[in-house]
A and B are shown apart, each in its own frame.
Chain A
Amino acid sequence: MTTSIVNENYTTQEKLQILADAAKYDVACTSSGSSRRGKKGELGNAEACGICHSFAADGRCISLLKILMTNHCAYDCKYCINRSGNDVKRATFTPQEICELTVEFYKRNYIEGLFLSSGVLRNPTYTMEKMCETLLLLRTKYHFNGYIHVKTIPGASDELLAAAGYLADRISVNLELPTEDALRSLAPNKTMQNILNPMGKVQSTIASHRMAIGKSAYMERSRGNQFLNHSIFSDNSKNKFKEKLNAQNTDARLYGSFHSEKHLQKTASFPGENKFCKHALTWENACQLAPLDMSDLRRSFAPAGQSTQMIIGATGESDYTLLQTTQALYQGFDLKRVFYSAYIPLNDDTNLPQLGTPPPLLREHRLYQADWLLRFYGFQATELLSESQPNFNELLDPKCDWALRHLEHFPVEVETASYATLLRVPGIGPKSASRITYARKYGRLTFESLKKMGVVLKRAHYFITCGGKQMYHTPIEEAYITRQLIHVDTKDLWKMQHANETYSQMTLADFGIG
C-alpha cells in the first residue's frame, strides 16, 4: 500500500461514510433488467422495471447500496479520488459488515440491492476473490435474493469472473475512457485489452447461458425495436457490424471507435465474436472453473446483462467518438447499458481539466438523449453526428437537430405513417407512437386526441399533419423551425447550464474598498 494513513479502527458507520463517499462517482445505480419472484424463507425479489428508493441532493436516484469494498488502491488513475497517490481516509469493509448492511437496509425498504465495487487491494485477483466471498455469503448464509450489481476488477482471473456472474444480476467493467491513448495517459495501470477482455468473456458466457435455457443469445431490448429494421439491434444492422469487423484489416476507420490506427494490430483482436472463441468461457467450463460449483445455486448467469461507464470531458474526445464507441459496445458486446459520467475535477494534474471546472452536465444530458435514440428510436450513431459535425448542438436536442437536417422527410401524416416513421418525429416517443398506431384502427385522430395520447405538440406540430392539415400554418423551413424550437427550450437549458451558480449582493469590499 502506498498510502500510509491506515486506521482500521473505524466503526461501521464511519466506514460507510468513507466508502459510500468514495463510491459516489460511479454512475450506474439502476436495478432494472432482472425479474425474479421471491421465495419463502428468503429475502427479496427483483423487478424488471427497477425501483428507485430515494433521490439524493444531486437529483440522482438511490436504488442500490452503492459502496466500495475498500478504497485502498494499488492503481494510480489520474482522474480518480482513490488513486494511490492521494492522501484520503482509507477503510475496508469485512464481508459480514456488507452483508448485514445490505440485509437490514433491504428489510427497511431503503434499497433495492447491493452495488459492490472496489479499489484494488493488493492485486486484482485478491480483490475479486474478496468480493466474490462477500456475494456468496450474502446469497447463501443471508438468503438474500435481491438485486446485486458487481464491478469486476480488470485483470482478475477467469474463474472469479465466472463466479461473480453467477452470484450477481448485473456485472460490469468500466471502460472509463473511450480510446487507448486517453487510457494510457490517465490510467497507466489499465489497458484497453484488459478491460475489453473480461467484457467479451462475460458476453459469450451470458450468450451461451441464455441459449442453454432456451432464450435468444442476445439480451432483450425494448419491445418497439422489433418493428424497427434500421435500429442498432436489428439483424440487418448486426450483420453489417459483423461484416465491418471482418473487413477491419482493409479499413480501420469504419468502426469508428476503438481504433487509433497505430494500435490497430493490438486492438484488432477484441470486438469480434469470432475472435473470442479461443479464450471464450463456455457455460460448462465456467462452471468447472468457478471455485464453488455455482450451478448448485441454480442461478442464471448475470440475468440483467452487463454495463459500462465512460467519463465525459476529462480528455478531448468528441461526442462522435463517444457515440460510435457506445454503438460498438451495444453491437459488439451486447451491453445492456452504457453510462456517461460528467467529469468532476478532483485531482490537480496537468493532463486534466483544472480544479473547479464545472462538470459538463449539458453534454452528459445530450449524450444520454442520443443513447436513448440508439436504444429505443432506431437511430444509428452515424445519423446523429458525423466527422464534419462531431459534437451535439447545445441548443437543440439530438432528435430535433436530426429532424431539422432532414426536413425532406417531413411533414409526416400521423394517420398513415409507420411506427418507425412516427418515432422519428420530435415530440413523439415509443409510448405515444404505439398509442397512435392502436388508436387509428378505431377512429380518426385529431390534434386534441394526439395531445391526450402524450404527443408533445409544442415540438411535434411543425413536423406533422393530421388528416392532411397542419395544426397551424407553419412553413417547413429550417431557419424558422430552429428559431421556434430554440425558443421553447431556452429557459430549461439556461437552468441546466447555470445550475450551480450562486449570486450574492455586491459590496464595496469586492472593489477593495472598506
Chain B
Amino acid sequence: MKVYTCKDRLTDIMTCIYDAWSEALRIGHNQIQLKKEPVFQQTLFDEYIHIDGDASRAEKVIRSIRRSISEEAYLNVYYATLCADEDSLQAIYNFLRVGFAVGSTVLGQYTNPHVMKLLEIRRRVSNEAHHFREFARFQSLDSKVYVCHLEPKNDVIMLVGNHFSDRMPSEHWMIIDDNRKTACVHVKDGENYLRYLTDEEFETLRQTESYEDEYTDMWKTFFHAISIEQRRNYICQRNLFPLWKRKHAVEFKRVQEGSPHSFPFLLH
C-alpha cells in the first residue's frame, strides 16, 4: 500500500489528493492511503510518499470539485481541510471518490458512511468556528488595536476573522492562534490576511493577554450581577461553555486571592 503524506495546508492537501488520485488510477483506490504529517509511527511494509504543495495541481483539484460535484461540496471539503483530526484527509479522499462518481446529489446521500463522515467533520469545524465567534475576547490596547488570543482545536481563526471583518471593519484588530502561532490581521478598512508569527513577535503579542482596563472590570461586574442565585446551575454552564474554551475569556480568569472577582464555582 502507498501512503501519501503532506502538511496541514489547503494547497498541500489538494496537491496530495491530486497525486494520490493519479496513482490510484494505476493501482486502484484501495491501495492508497492519505495521512497528514507528522506521521508518528510508520508501518513496516507500506511506502511513504511526501508531497509538497503545488498551486497549479491544487487549483485543478479545486476546479474539478466545483465543476463536477458542486460549490456546496467544495465548501464542505474546504472546512474539512481545516480540521485537526488525523483521519480528516482520508475522509476527504473517500468523500471525493463518492462525489465524482455520483455528482451534485452527493450531499443528500446521508446513508453513505463516507458522505456522513465528511458532513460530521464539517459540522464540527463550523461549530467550533461559531463557538469562538461567541467566546473570542478582545483586549483593547489604548482603544487603538484590539487583540484576541484563541486556542482552537481546528484551524478556525480565518473563519472567525471573516465574521469580525464584517462586524468591525473600521478598527485595527488581530486574532491570534496560540497553538499554531498564526494571526488573522485586520487593518482598518482593509482586508484580512493570515500571518505566520515569528517566535519573537509571538512573545510580544502574548503579553497583551494580561492587559486589563476599566471595561474589563465592568464586564466582570456585569457577568456576576446578571446570574440568578436561585437558579444556579454550573453543570448547564459547563455544558454550554466548556472549560477548555474558557481559557482566554476574561470573565473566568483567575485573579489574585482575596480579590472580589475570584471564581469559586470553577472548582465545582
Contacts and interface: CB of A to CB of B under 8 A. Distances in A.
Tell me if B's interface is mostly helix, strand, loop or mixed. helix
B138 A61 contact: no
Contacts of A182: none
B133 A51 contact: yes
Contacts of B230: 344, 358-359, 500
B222 A452 contact: no
Contacts of A108: 137-140, 146, 215-216, 219
Contacts of B170: 40-43
Tell me if A's interface is mostly helix, strand, loop or mixed. loop
A81 B217 CA distance: 26
Interface in A452-481: 452-453
Nearest to B268: A57
Given A12-B218, A108-B138, A59 B236 contact: yes
Nearest to B233: A59
A483 interface: no
Contacts of A453: 110, 116
Nearest to A437: B108
A59 B116 CA distance: 32
A402 interface: no
Contact of B111 (A42, A57, A358, A439): A439
A16 interface: yes
B169 interface: yes
A38 interface: yes
A43 B111 contact: no
B162 to A, nearest CB: 11
B221 A13 contact: yes
B108 A452 contact: no
Contact of B225 (A24, A42, A54, A499): A24
Contacts of B251: 54
B240 interface: yes
A153 interface: no
Given A17-B221, A57-B237, A58-B227, A452 B110 contact: yes
Contacts of A441: 105, 108
22 contacts: A13-B214, A13-B218, A20-B221, A20-B222, A21-B226, A38-B168, A38-B169, A43-B170, A54-B135, A55-B237, A57-B234, A58-B227, A60-B227, A61-B240, A62-B226, A66-B226, A109-B164, A110-B219, A342-B231, A442-B105, A452-B110, A500-B232
Contacts of B240: 52, 55, 59, 61
Contacts of B112: 442-443
A42 B136 CA distance: 20
A56 B227 contact: yes
Interface of B: 105, 108-113, 116, 133-140, 146, 148, 164, 166-171, 189, 214-219, 221-237, 239-241, 249, 251, 265
B94 to A, nearest CB: 15
Contacts of B108: 438-439, 441-442
A439 B109 contact: yes
A164 B139 CA distance: 32
A96 interface: no
A435 interface: yes
B249 A54 contact: yes
Contact of B233 (A41, A66, A452, A499): A499
Contacts of B249: 54
Given A43-B170, A54-B241, A107-B138, 12 more contacts: A24-B228, A40-B169, A54-B251, A56-B227, A58-B227, A58-B236, A59-B231, A59-B237, A108-B146, A109-B148, A439-B108, A452-B110
Contacts of B216: 108
A361 interface: yes
Contacts of A499: 231, 233
Interface string A27-55: 00000000001111111110000011111
A104 B110 contact: no
A446 interface: yes
B137 A109 contact: yes
B225 A38 contact: no
A25 interface: yes
Contacts of A24: 225-228
A42 B166 CA distance: 10
B111 A442 contact: yes
A226 interface: no
A62 B230 CA distance: 17
A513 B135 CA distance: 52
